Amino acid sequence: MLATLTAVNLWLPEWIPFDKLPISQFWQVLLLRIVLSLISIASMKTWFPSSLYRLNVRSGRKQNFAGLGIVAFLIAPSFTPSQFSGFSFSQVIEGITFALFIGVDEELFSRGFVFAALEEYGIFLAAVMSSIQFGLLHFTNLFWGGQSISYTLGQVLSASSFGFLCVGIMIYTKTIWFGVALHGLYDTPMQFQSSVNFTKLVTGSSDWFPLIIQALIYILTGWILIALNDQERILQFMDKFGLIKDREEPVIL
């Protein structure tokens, strides 16, 4: 089931020739993303209906502030006015929309369906395995995207750690949509790179030191957010490292 839906996500464009439709490439890709998103939702509803609550747009006030704060903190440094210079208002809106639909599609599949499929084995294991699966999906860029091995390996590491962060945000806020927003906005700046710069980037080598630091930050943040959903786990962790003095034991009557 998991392998089948992964194959659908990878090869649907080959099975349904969206590029033959009499619409612009922008709408071809959006239509593909919409179809894939609907397939992920239908799969969740069919096999894991209990996970559908994460599609709710509402969350608690504290969780909303946390979700918005994390998205703003991680995304704000990536957005500078110079990135959008030379583009019309409609082109900017089109680029942001394009990136957001990448977030919708990939989050509904990896954090929606794949995480739900693994959740019975425990939240942390599901978080790790679904994040690794999300990262490994980027290996296809080595064959279809013309990327170098070094850049692709760096992308796999970055995507895996980013996926773990998105799981943490989803678990803490109890909704998938903050992760969708983070994912889409994270991909937005790349939509405004020139083809020359983009080709130079993806065919070059990864800068491993900042990639590893970034990955560790994403993983730590994701772990904290997941653990905050389980206060007993936080207490056990603090007690293990001597951060709690004289922890009260339950009274047995």
CA distance 48 to 42: 10
What separation, in Å, do the N-terminal and C-terminal C-alpha atoms of the chain show?
49
Per-residue pLDDT of the chain (253 residues; tens, 9 = 90+): 788 888 888 888 778 888 889 999 999 999 999 999 999 999 999 999 999 999 998 888 889 999 999 999 999 888 887 788 889 999 999 999 999 999 999 999 999 999 999 999 999 999 999 999 999 999 999 988 889 999 999 999 999 999 999 999 999 999 999 999 999 999 999 999 888 999 999 999 999 999 999 999 999 999 999 999 876 555 565 666 666 665 555 555 4
Long-range contacts of 90-97 (CB under 8 A, 24+ apart): 92/192, 94/26, 95/188, 95/191, 95/192, 96/184, 96/185, 96/188, 96/191, 97/30
Start-end of H helices in the chain:
2-15, 25-47, 61-75, 89-107, 115-118, 123-137, 140-144, 149-173, 177-187, 195-202, 208-228, 231-240
Please indicate, yes or no, whether the overall pTM of this predicted structure exceeds 0.85: yes
Report CA torsion sign: 107, 110, 113, 116: negative
